[in-house]
Amino acid sequence: MKHIVILTGAGMSAESGLKTFRDSNGLWEGHDVMEVASPIGFSKNPELVLNFYNQRRRQLLEVQPNSAHYTLAELEHNYKVSIVTQNVDDLHERAGSTNVLHLHGELFKVRSTYNETDIQEWKKDLVLGDLCNKGYQLRPHIVWFGEAVPTIEKAIRICETADILIIIGTSMQVYPAASLVHYVTKDTKTFFIDPNPSINSESNLTVIPETATVGVKKLFKKL
């Protein structure tokens, strides 16, 4: 059974109605990224950071997977499928994908500020005073700027075994995620789905200049 590895980013979830919270001026809901998505920001103003992610979490509860999520889940009938996502939503899982690795954490999980392996499911607001069982404040289970990506080694091992690589809704400009394309073999068939692609098709690379829902439908016919 061929192994398909799928790398997904914000463009994958945009058509589900999930706002990309980075504004055109680079601010996140009017905040500098370091204020709401860094350990320094959290130590300076934890309430602001918790509120920022509470808004993200509430929004995620209101949206549904789109047709592209469901189509990728269907691939599991005929292929071994591994999804490596930069997204912190659970839309791949809700659509039925069973093998999803999150590079940047998950919105519906929180963890202890004392022990990063103490992780729990969390779908309500997280506030100051919500503590782990050892009495330490809980924080979003999100990889913030300046923090290591704990799942990157596993992601590299997955990419090394890809027969087909599909990249959807991500420019692959953010490291270390961007480095993953270098771990597939040269003869790996690669598909790149993005409405505004920065690259052109070449021998083993097929560029599909479409949104996720349209592009995945077209891709399905090419596999």
Residues with catalytic roles = 104
Q: Cα–Cα distances in Å, from 80 out to 153, 168, 193, 213, 217?
A: 20, 18, 20, 21, 19
Distance CA 201, CA 167 (A): 13
Q: Cα–Cα distances in Å, from 196 out to 26, 200, 207?
A: 18, 11, 10
Buried b (16+ CB within 10 A) or exposed e, 188-223: bbbbbbbeeeeeeeeeebbbbebbbbbbbeebeeee
Q: Please give the structure tokens belonging to residue 53.
A: 């992610």
Backbone angles phi, psi at 170, to 5 degrees: -145, 140
Q: In the chain, count H helices and then E strands.
A: 8, 9
